[in-house]
Structure 1
Amino acid sequence: MATFKDGILGGFFGKVGPVVGLQLGDKLVMRALPRRTKPFTNKELENQRKFRLVQNYLSPFLDLLKIGFNNYYTKTGGFRAALSYTRKEALKHDDSGIYID
């Protein structure tokens, strides 16, 4: 992944050929498009479901979590720290499925 200030002609957002431009925090970032040729495994799909559940659960509290967890992950912000903590400590699994306790 490469970072750049303003690029040759300024920063860009979106897809240009095999490159994607986006902003992460205050940095402009370029990265390659993901290449996936085989289908996701069951474990990968379960991990995606867990991530989606926690993401949807915490997103209404985004501003509060950025402040409350700001000392945990300084580069990426408090929300990612809260996401990680919730996945490790509050995510439960039983016969009825995955839920947050």
Structure 2
Amino acid sequence: MATLNKGILGGFSGKVGTVVGANWRGKDIIRSRPKVSKRNPTDKQLTQQLKFKLAITFLQPVKNIQSQYFGAGSGVRSRVNLAVSYTINEAIEVVKDLPELIYNKVLITKGDLTGFQNAVLTTQVGGVLHLEWEDNSTQGNAAPMDQVSIVCYCAELKNFEIFGGIVMRSDLMADVTLPNYCIGKTMEVYVFLNNEKQTSASTSFYLGQHPVI
């Protein structure tokens, strides 16, 4: 059943015969109904489907960050689309016919804001992560008021812990405390900066794998 949105000459939603009407990004579009394939997918197609599912599932918790700070969305490709595409093509490898994430190639953000200089992360008892970096607030387009964010991912728990805008670039250090259920687990840790107006960000930096104590 189809619904006319703006009268008989306007857009519609739903199915009419062999076409489907929908509103996508504020535009009324019409496309043909997809044909149901009777062919079994090839091994390559199955692998690509698994890679896509892995990327979508993994990135879902950071979708809001990426919708704001991953590249520059244009046309039909949103920033989230770009993040998924990057992850599939650059941060996933196939091992024994199954896709696996390459954590040191994962990007949480992708942008042109000047990043960290010599960032170092250490762990402390009680689930504390201690981050230090050098002052580079006069380099490129960096500014002292740029905000620091830390993103942690636990593969065992399949869970993100996100600490957004916790300090400024000029603070040169930051401490965050992970929940108790993270103690004894291992975290993949990423950091990024965004400007004060929240209009641009640096490309995220991978700080390595860290056991939480």
Band of TM-score, shorter chain:
0.7 to 0.9
TM-score w.r.t. structure 1 length?
Answer: 0.77
TM-score w.r.t. structure 2 length?
Answer: 0.40
Distance, in Å, in 2 between the alignment partners of 1:32 and 1:85 is 29
When the two chains are superposed, the root-mean-square deviation of aligned CA atoms in Å is 2.3
Structure 2 residue 79 is the aligned partner of structure 1 residue 78: yes
Alignment partner, residue 68 of structure 2: 67
Structure 2 residue 45 is the aligned partner of structure 1 residue 44: yes
The structure whose residues are more often helix, as a share, is 1
* Divergent runs of 4+, >4 A: none
Alignment partner, residue 91 of structure 2: 90
Q: Percent identity?
A: 33
Alignment partner, residue 31 of structure 1: 31
Q: How many residues align?
A: 96
Alignment partner, residue 12 of structure 1: 12
- 8 A Cα contact 1:90 1:100, kept in partner: yes
SS of the equivalent of 1:13 reads strand
Shift of 1:22: 1.9
Shift of 1:65: 0.8
Distance, in Å, in 2 between the alignment partners of 1:6 and 1:48 is 37
Structure 2 unaligned spans of 5+: 103-213
Structure 1 unaligned spans of 5+: none
Larger Rg computed on CA atoms: 2
